[in-house]
Copies of this chain bind each other. A is one copy, B any other.
Amino acid sequence: MDQLVGSGLEHVCISPGSRSAPLAMAFARHPGVRVWMHLDERSGSFFGLGLAKASGRAVALLCTSGTAAAEFHPAVVEASYSRTPLLVLTADRPPELRGVGANQAIDQDHLYGSAVRWFCDPGPPVAGADSARHWRRLAARALAEAAGTPPGPVHLNLPFQEPLTPEPGAPPSPVAADGAVTVHRSQQPTSAMRRRFAELVASAERPVLVAGEMRDGSRLGAAAIALGIPVLAEPTSQLRLPGTVVAYEALLRTPGWADFHQPDLVLRVGATPTSKPLNHWLAGAGAPTLLVDPDGGWRDPDVLAREVFAADPLPLLEACASRSGGWRPDWQAADAVAGRALAETLAGGPLHEGQAVRALAEALPERATLFVGSSMAVRDVDTFWPAAPPGRLVLGNRGASGIDGLVSTGLGVAAAEQPGPAAILLGDLSLYHDMNGLWAVRRHGLRAAFIVLDNDGGGIFSFLPQAEHEDVFEELFGTPLGLRLEDVARLYGLEFCSVERASDLEGALRGAVLAERATMVAVRFGRADSVSGHRACWAAVAEALSREGAQ
């Protein structure tokens, strides 16, 4: 209630019912919202529609479960086609009472079909540390989606378990206000939005900019660097430029350093970050997060956003004053320390993904396209890819992060004829899963370098807790492939070579990238070496930071 009112809700039309009682009572007891009772849900919904049409602002409807919810349907349809904002709240039985003949329980999931701009069923409320933030986000988002382009109805289906009402005289205490969410929406940001954004950035002492996957991120480059704050950019954001912090994954795996460097403001652009240590650090910091998304998305699984800017990030970044000094030098010094430690460790350790990523970055010309597979490949590129001037396009399938279709996506990327050669970096399981896709190499005469991280199976699982279940691990998770990659290459007419020593990597990769025809390079290493090699990297960074007093 409190977030709905804070986000601008002024009116609710309620029809009486039992399952909806918790919400009805909360509305009635909140001083910021006016309750309009209606006995007939159909009348109530059209009444709310009229209020919304005349005022131009969303009005809430509330009913109990069952056919009551279907009574709203005609008004929801009119709202959809006349572009009238409405917030439709239907109470529901909890999941365990659905489809089992419970009284007044019908299937309310997507009840209004394509007539609503957004549907959400958040499940029954449970008390938890984050629950206030979850409910505030749900409320703020629902009203923002109703006010979208075009405006229209939004449906929240809200299940409740018994008891439905508190003891008389003992209403629930109000939730904390500190998780309140504000939404600013205008693709071309208004001057008020630019001013607000700039003020928030100016008032922070320890702000960071975090950039996830974006195809067109390089256009933000100059403005992002000019901010004078640490920029933590994934390679797939096209923003890992000179002047950004590259080794953030290693730094944030070092608990002392991470704890000592807590941000007080986070600017988020692009998709949700890939790195688990980075996400963990962001979630733990509890700093206000400004989520900037020109498409008005809510890519914030850890419920950190306090202000959402549904706007082009470039004018927002350009509105900020540059700062010199501050804490960016700390980050850059630590980044340099970590970078040296990683390089030394990779040079001395067993061959694994880390050396392959570094060698590929060396081998690729300044203008080139890299397509990165999911699972380990994208994470190792995040960890080990160096900063470089703009000119390379780094793509992946971070939308749904599947390991399916990666060969074909990479070949499609290669077929788009971006400037320079195309390289495709992926694991052996991913290659196998879309092996059929290699037919396009022969059929369409495509040129691309496949760099296969070949550890004969699913390497990422060796880093996860199931690795300790030795009786079932290899069969269920390791899944060694047992196929010879040279035979795959021969079948589809690719040139082939394999690398088993780090010193051979750069020559092989440079040859593959510059080859006149499609080539496959199998980089062969053991899964155990990968685990120990990565862990040696983190340990070396922690030790170097400690030695240099950087933490």
Residues of A within 8 A of B (CB): 11, 13, 36-40, 42-56, 59, 74-75, 77-84, 149-151, 187-188, 213, 215-216, 271, 294-297, 369, 371, 393, 395, 397-400, 402, 404-416, 418, 434, 436-437, 439-440, 443-444
Contact = CB atoms under 8 A, between A and B. Distances in A.
Given A43-B434, A47-B409, A395 B54 contact: yes
Contact of A39 (B38, B47, B398, B439): B439
A46 B436 contact: no
Contacts of A55: 416, 418
A47 B415 contact: yes
A480 B307 CA distance: 57
A440 B38 contact: yes
Contacts of A434: 42-43, 46
A343 B56 CA distance: 35
Nearest to A213: B82
Contacts of A413: 50-51, 53-54
B415 A43 contact: no
Given A40-B439, A49-B397, A51-B416, 19 more contacts: A36-B415, A36-B440, A39-B436, A42-B408, A43-B408, A43-B437, A43-B440, A46-B405, A46-B408, A46-B412, A48-B412, A49-B408, A50-B410, A50-B411, A53-B412, A80-B400, A82-B397, A83-B295, A150-B296
- The residue in A39, A187, A215, A408 that gathers the most chain B C-beta atoms within 10 A of its C-beta is A408
B436 A40 contact: yes
24 contacts: A11-B415, A13-B412, A36-B440, A38-B439, A39-B436, A40-B436, A42-B434, A43-B407, A43-B408, A46-B406, A46-B412, A47-B411, A51-B413, A51-B416, A54-B369, A54-B395, A54-B416, A55-B416, A55-B418, A78-B397, A78-B400, A79-B399, A149-B296, A187-B187
Given A42-B436, A43-B437, A439-B38, A149 B395 contact: no
Nearest to A409: B50
A213 to B, nearest CB: 7
B50 A416 contact: yes
A67 to B, nearest CB: 15
A404 to B, nearest CB: 5
B50 A415 contact: yes
Contacts of A404: 42, 46, 74
A169 to B, nearest CB: 27
A82 B415 contact: no
Contact of A188 (B74, B188, B271, B393): B188
Q: 5 tightest A-B contacts by CB?
A: A50-B412, A82-B399, A46-B405, A81-B399, A150-B295
Nearest to A369: B54
Nearest to A79: B399
Contacts of A296: 149-150
B56 A215 contact: yes
- The residue in A45, A52, A54, A83 that gathers the most chain B C-beta atoms within 10 A of its C-beta is A54
Contacts of A47: 408-409, 411-412, 415, 437, 440
Contacts of A151: 295
A464 B500 CA distance: 84
A390 B46 CA distance: 26
A436 B43 contact: yes
B80 A399 contact: yes
A54 B399 contact: no
Nearest to A374: B78
Contacts of A11: 415
A544 B440 CA distance: 73
B418 A54 contact: yes
Contacts of A297: 150
Given A83-B399, A149-B187, A444 B409 contact: no
